[in-house]
A and B are shown apart, each in its own frame.
Chain A
Amino acid sequence: LAKTTQPISMDSYEGQEVNITCSHNNIATNDYITWYQQFPSQGPRFIIQGYKTKVTNEVASLFIPADRKSSTLSLPRVSLSDTAVYYCLGGPEGGGNKLTFGTGTQLKVEL
């Protein structure tokens, strides 16, 4: 089980790019790195998943260095609506997609 470490909180302003870094030193060779977003009183929402190098979708980019001991979620030009908790997940508990969530990073975006 890959334990992940990420900042407890981050602050940003609208229009800025936000990078949230997560460390997962003991991630297994076959494990994916997955990020979820959660708003208050809602379930988490899948953002992006990657295995190595760079993955980009319409919402975010995920950068994974060659050693895979960390990853960085990049949110371009954030808005107030991006204020949420962001979870980085490494290896699953017991295999498959039985994911273990930490406490996440509370991102606050201001005007």
Chain B
Amino acid sequence: ETGVTQSPTHLIKTRGQQVTLRCSSQSGHNTVSWYQQALGQGPQFIFQYYREEENGRGNFPPRFSGLQFPNYSSELNVNALELDDSALYLCASSLSAVQSSPLHFGNGTRLTVT
């Protein structure tokens, strides 16, 4: 069983640029959640996709957007990058979007904005 994989593992961008992060969900999982984790903090919920539809969003501006594809893989796009966007971006898949369905996380993409 293949777990959640994220690409790239590391990325350096310049302020104002745009970035796309990718996530392959675990086999059989139809729900993908994205989190941002700053250094020393817990992961912060960005948004969730359930069967290709956005299923909830955290307190992040519209320049954070996403997609989920028919195979349930997902992308996170961030436009107009700011220095504060530097963080570890985590993707998690789950069997469903119900509370009792545990999140399975990838190891993240480390984004550095200079």
Contact = CB atoms under 8 A, between A and B. Distances in A.
A69 B91 CA distance: 30
B13 interface: no
B99 A92 contact: yes
Interface residues of B, number: 34
Q: Is the interface of A mostly helix, strand, loop or mixed?
A: loop
Nearest to A44: B105
Contacts of A104: 42
A101 B44 contact: yes
Contacts of B99: 30-32, 92, 95-97
B33 A43 contact: no
Contacts of A43: 4, 90-92, 105-108
Interface in A86-101: 87, 92-101
CB-CB nearest 6 A-B residue pairs: A43-B105, A101-B42, A46-B102, A96-B97, A94-B56, A101-B43
Interface of B: 4, 31, 33, 35, 40-45, 48, 55-58, 88, 90-92, 94, 96-108, 110
Interface of A: 30-32, 34, 36, 41-46, 49, 87, 92-104
